[in-house]
Amino acid sequence: MSLDAGQLFSERAKGFRPSEIRELLKLVDSPEIISLAGGMPDDRFFPIDRVIEASSFALKEYGKKALQYGSTEGIKKLRNLLIERMANEGVRDVGLENVVISTASQQGLSLVAQVFVDPGDTIIVEDPSYLGALQAFGSMQAKFCTVPLDGDGLQVDMLEEKLKELQASHVRPKFLYTCPNFHNPAGVTLSLERRKRLIQLARDYSLLVIEDDPYGEVRFEGERLPSLLALGGMEHVVALRTFSKISFPGLRLGWIVAREDVLSKIIVGKQAADLCSPTITQYIAYEFISRGWLDEYVQIIQREYAKKKDAMIEALNQYFPAGASWTNPQGGLFVWVKAPDCIDTTAMFREAINAKVAYVVGIAFYPHRNDNCHMRLNFSAVEPERIVEGVRRLGDLIKSKM
């Protein structure tokens, strides 16, 4: 008798949805297609020789320890180094007891969801919001309360109105999730004034803020703004960071910063998930950072990604029709494009593939799936000439449908 696994799935698992980005990327795995869809760094700039040197040294210096299980919290050398880096950014009063190494930031999102979210709990997210976060929180059967973005990031005044409404309904949100720097997908950055106001709202309403900052160091224009963690401390902020965008996603490393009572639960959750993050890549990361190579690499991608972003903005100005609009980010990896009102970017996706160009459909980033006119374009992983050609193909396709 055959086994019907569907009868065994938990109610939670029945609600799982695959990542639309991952599903779309399966369709664009062809050199003929110009993919503006992914969110990957440009591997042409990876300093392979230095990674080889750091890896070789890590194996010679740390030997069996580098190949053995490590502590759940992560190796102390790396955590201390990260604490020093954060102190240079204005984050104070963080000790080893406040930092755990995660298996990249997606695990951080998953652990936050496990620690805080029960089925039916309300969480506040930006509209649009990062798809990986929506997946992590949705898998715990959260209810989403959304707050829109504008050119200065999260509309904090509207957040305050939402908080008042929830309070009047006797609903306490478990947390607010925000991506304040070079937002994924919208590319916008939360202004300093709004950051300060957000921290004040967190204090007034006893609100926990999950600050996800994968791209903060990939700034190529303007002045760096203090993080929410630096402004508000750990009382109301849990910070998620990753090496994936500032170095190499293959390391599968990130870190979580939180107050001790929160981090203790996260550590137990991590023990159940994977025991510990890869020890060898932690030692490699330590050697790479401590030698100053990470800072040099970040300077390279800041310079090169700026050129790519400029090429995309110029191409959008040249090839996209009237009625379209887009963000012009000061850093990060993405431009968020609104198509003319008559264009359904979800319905158009297959036609774009036929035209040998790909993007990520905007609807994937809306928890209530109520927008069909946006698309996310990535500039980090594509050469400037192919960016221009890809945008031209998209512009021609949109014009042909108007």
Task: Report the candidate in 68, 86, 98, 54 with the shortest Cα–Cα distance to residue 283.
Answer: 54
DSSP state of 247: S
Return the ∠ at Cα 57 (arms to 52 and 61), rounded to 5°: 160
Domain 49-292 bears CATH identifier 3.40.640.10: yes
DSSP code per residue over 90-157: T--S--GGGEEEESHHHHHHHHHHHHH--TT-EEEEEES--HHHHHHHHTTTPEEEEEEEETTEE-HH
Q: Domain 11-47+295-400 belongs to what topology?
A: Aspartate Aminotransferase, domain 1 (3.90.1150)
pTM: 0.95
Give me the residue label for tokens 């970040």: 298
Structure tokens at 318: 């040249």
Per-residue pLDDT 10s for the chain (402 aa) are 688 887 888 888 877 777 666 666 666 667 889 999 988 999 999 999 999 999 999 999 999 999 999 999 999 999 999 999 999 999 999 999 999 999 999 999 999 999 999 999 999 999 999 999 999 999 999 999 999 999 999 999 999 999 999 999 999 999 999 999 999 999 999 999 999 999 999 999 999 999 999 999 999 999 999 999 999 999 999 999 999 999 999 999 999 999 999 999 999 999 999 999 999 999 999 999 999 999 999 999 999 999 999 999 999 999 999 999 999 999 999 999 999 999 999 999 999 999 999 999 999 999 999 999 999 999 999 999 999 999 999 999 999 998
Q: Taking a C-beta distance cutoff of 8 angstroms, is the pair 357, 390 a contact? A: yes
Residues of the chain with CATH 3.40.640.10: 49-292
